[in-house]
Amino acid sequence: MSSPPATSRNMIVLNVLGPILAVLAALAVGAVIMLISGHDPITAYVALVDGSLNSKRAITETLIYTAPLILGGLAFAIAYRASLFNIGIEGQLVMGGLAAGIVGAWDLGLPTALHLPLALLAAAAAGGLWGAIPGALRAFTGAHEVITTIMLNYLAYRTVNYTIQKLGDWLPVDNQFQATNRAMDTARLPIVLDGTRLHSGILIAIACAILLWYVLFRTVFGYKVRTVGLSLGAAQYAGISWRGVFVAAMLLSGLLAGLAGAGEALGLHGRHFANPPGYGFTAIAVGLVGRNHPLAIIPSALLFGALSAGAPAMQSDADVSKEIVLVLQGLVILAVAAFAAANRIPGLRKLATPRMSSGRI
Amino acid sequence: MALVTATLRMTTPLLFAALGGVLSERSGIINIALEGMMLTGAFFSVAGTYWTGNPWLGLLIGVLSAGVAATIHAYWSITLRGNQIVAGTAVNLIAAGLTAFLIQRIWGQAGASVSVQKLPNLASGINVLLPVAFLLVPVVHIVLFRTKQGLHLQASGEHPQAAENVGIDVTRNRYVAVIASGLLAGMGGAFLSIGDLSYFTLDMTAGRGFIALAAVIFGGWTPVGAMLAALLFGASQAVQIQAQATPGFPISTDLLLAFPYLLTLIAVTGLVRASTPPAGLGTHPTAH
């Protein structure tokens, strides 16, 4: 078998080694921050690994965090592939969670085989709608999706809050508990591993990753999405309806985010809480580290899942407050961007690899 | 009268950050990092005051820290030509994480700092920074529209390639604009923590940086427009606070809080009036 041509080897190095180096660089900078603030980074990182990988419970906790991060990362990726920047994953996620929570808590007298899919469908529809709005606004009015998705995040938080606070007469919500009512057993995502909290959301997430890979790389629609993402001009010239692609990509993005919310509501908590979980922003890091490739997003989400799962242990064992994980996420994003632009950093120019043309925002 | 004062108080932090946003976006750099810069400014104003015992030195430390956050955004957005939204997201995450981490580290408690001395009030409810924000509106207006530097800055944002061709240093202009936006956003943050209050709480800015960005857009990327938009958003927050304190107020606080976002959403669609960003926003001069 002949070796791959040099350019494709460079691409492999860029796409696999780049993110790994970026993560290591971020961990190193994180260690420096801990040193400056008088913590022991070794103890902290050992605790982080302990809390995320070193026992059955730790591993299942990591996987519990991984599920919404895979879906969020996929949501980011599908939009990004169409050159759209979905900052609204958090809003789409909570809308999906709310819908799933309400349908799940409703006593419809349905068996699990109907109730659970119905609740998931509601989440996908609510998230998809919340994603399609900025897609349509971008396609038909030119309103930039970054601004509209940020605004729709806040509108989603207010909608969720309003629903839970004020609509208790009509909907199964509990304003004392700041959440929807407890979901019926018929709408709960089954536990995968007895004696743990690990629910089947992780399986849905992995299935979605494979499905999105297929859609993106093996279907005409996926081809259109990638064409629009690489060059809007070329897509227009080829007669691709880019407006339709914008709307569809954002709808799909919101749909995946909505399912992430459903996993939390029907799997982990058994209800949807009014307080937004913040996964929507970690999802951006997940997508970027996974190079917006649906399958690469799985290990990327695992990494960030482990960071989140190990953070409490880091806090209790090394006295490093768990929010340092947010700093690490931000540093990873910066490092990924820096490695992608290595040819512009003096001294690194020699090592520079050819860059893929990136969609302009 | 109480409502007027409350409106001005709610508007001030938005206005500082929005003026920064106008400068940054006019130079061609998308700035969703305003949120993180504000948070950084709010935090280090309190920390600086705590360390030095002097709120003015605290203000200086806070504003400069926000400038550092802005420099990170500038380096990634301008020098590395990274995606400006990616860079802004990273700055926001780091600011949120680092401030939460440092609260615990410095004061040994989660969620809030201890109380420190605040900047003086000119009158009841009117902090010394409040008029500064409004006085900066004509200053930024004149700098942007009546000085050579301001016109160069605008050229860098409208058509970076052409600007570069006629000898304008686009990179320098953009750095200056983004760092200035950080200093201004930092002052907005300082107003929250040591102007209006006397302590820092977790996620104190609570999205004000994004609202400020919305004010920039709603205000048509001009200082005066941004001020009017910030006043509108500030007023809706003031009414909301009033409403929460008034039992039986007819409009839900969620609806009042949603109002600015809804308004911005409608505004950016251009359905109300044309909304045209600087033509070169988010772009770079040709790579070389």
Q: Would you state the pLDDT for residue B8?
A: 96
Residues A336 and A245 in one domain: no
Residues A29 and A153 in one domain: no
Length, in residues, of chain B: 288
Domain-located, residue A170: yes
Domain-located, residue A63: yes
In the block, which residue shows the tokens 């690994």? Answer: A49
Residues A96 and A239 in one domain: yes
Residues with Cβ within 8 Å of B11's Cβ and at least 6 positions away in sequence, in order, are B133, B230, B231, B233, B234, B235
Residues A160 and A205 in one domain: yes
Contact in structure between A246 and A269 (CB atoms under 8 Å): no
Contact in structure between A270 and A182 (CB atoms under 8 Å): yes
Q: Would you state the pLDDT for residue A169?
A: 87
Residues A94 and A240 in one domain: yes
Among A46, A237, A358, which Cα is nearest to B85's? A358
| Domain carrying residue A208 | 56-309
Residues A207 and A227 in one domain: yes
Domain containing residue B255: CATH number: 1.10.3470
Residues A296 and A346 in one domain: no
Give me the phi and psi of A102, to 5 degrees please: -70, -50
Query: Mind telling me how many Å the CA of A36 is from chain B's nearest CA?
Result: 11
User: Domain total for chain B?
Assistant: 1
Which residue of A lies nearest to B206 if distances are taken between CA atoms?
A154
Task: Evaluate if residue A258 carries a pLDDT over 80.
Answer: yes
State the average pLDDT over residues A255-283: 93
CA angle A217, A218, A224 (to 5 degrees): 65
Query: Mind telling me how many Å the CA of B44 is from chain A's nearest CA?
Result: 15
For A102, the token pair is 């309400």
Q: Do B105 and A152 touch (CB under 8 A)?
A: no
Prediction pTM value: 0.89
The one-letter amino acid at B109:
Q
| Domain carrying residue B233 | 2-268
A5: pLDDT confidence band, cut at 50, 70 and 90? low
pLDDT 10s digits, B69-96: 999 999 999 999 888 988 999 999 999 9
Domain-located, residue A2: no
Query: Which residues share a beta bridge with B112?
Result: B201
Q: Do A337 and B82 touch (CB under 8 A)?
A: yes
Of B124 and B24, which is predicted with more confidence?
B24
Cα atoms in the 13 Å half-sphere on the side-chain side of B146: 7
Domain-located, residue A115: yes
Which residue among A147, A165, A344 places its CB closest to the CB of B79? A344
Domain containing residue A140: CATH number: 1.10.3470
Q: Do A33 and B98 touch (CB under 8 A)?
A: yes
On chain B, the residues whose CB falls within 8 A of the CB of A337 are: 76, 80, 82-83, 86-87, 90
Q: Would you state the pLDDT for residue B214?
A: 86
- Interface mutation vs chain A, best among B77, B103, B265, B284, most A CBs within 10 Å: B265
Which residue among B80, B110, B270 places its CB closest to the CB of A142? B270
User: Domain total for chain A?
Assistant: 2
Domain-located, residue A44: no
DSSP H or E run through A337: helix A324-340
Domain-located, residue B119: yes
Domain-located, residue A50: no
Pairing of strands B121-123, A179-180: unpaired
Q: Do A87 and B89 touch (CB under 8 A)?
A: yes
Q: Would you state the pLDDT for residue A361?
A: 34
Which residue among A331, A337, A341 places its CB closest to the CB of B94? A331
Domain-located, residue A3: no
Domain-located, residue A175: yes
Domain-located, residue B107: yes
Residues A184 and A325 in one domain: no
